[in-house]
């Protein structure tokens, strides 16, 4: 499924709580992690509130990564002109 952790690019990794690591090279992969964690919260939330909190913390971190991946990229040589 995933490459061994020693072969992963550290810039692609989202570090979750309790040692969880999520490989997030693109938005589709991040979305897959978010769906899996959301399902785990829905099925395991009643028995363990602590488990739900851990999952929600990881979801927050993955949402941050998703936002970063969707930032617009300026073309090469682009210079911002300040009004004035």
Can you give the pTM of this predicted structure?
Answer: 0.74
Pairing of the two strands 21-23 and 13-15: antiparallel
Tens digit of pLDDT at every position of the chain (84 positions) = 445 555 557 788 999 998 899 999 999 999 999 999 999 888 876 677 888 899 999 999 999 999 999 988 778 877 877 776
Distance CA 58, CA 43 (A): 16
Up-side HSE of residue 67: CA atoms within 13 Å toward CB?
6
Residue 36: the pLDDT is: 94
Question: Domain extents for the chain?
Answer: 10-69
Residue 7: the pLDDT is: 59
Distance CA 48, CA 67 (A): 29
Distance CA 51, CA 24 (A): 22
Spell out the residues 6+ positions from residue 25 whose beta carbon is closer than 8 angstroms to its own.
9, 12
Residue 77: the pLDDT is: 79
Residue 1: the pLDDT is: 46
Distance CA 74, CA 53 (A): 37
């Amino acid at each position: 499924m995933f490459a061994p952790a020693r072969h992963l690019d550290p810039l692609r990794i989202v570090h979750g709580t309790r040692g969880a690591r999520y490989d997030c090279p693109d938005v589709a992969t991040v979305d897959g992690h978010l769906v899996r964690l959301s399902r785990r919260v829905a099925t395991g939330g009643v028995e363990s509130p602590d488990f739900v909190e851990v999952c929600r913390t990881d979801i927050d971190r993955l949402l941050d990564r998703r936002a970063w991946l969707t930032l617009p990229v300026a073309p090469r040589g682009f210079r911002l002109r300040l009004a004035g």
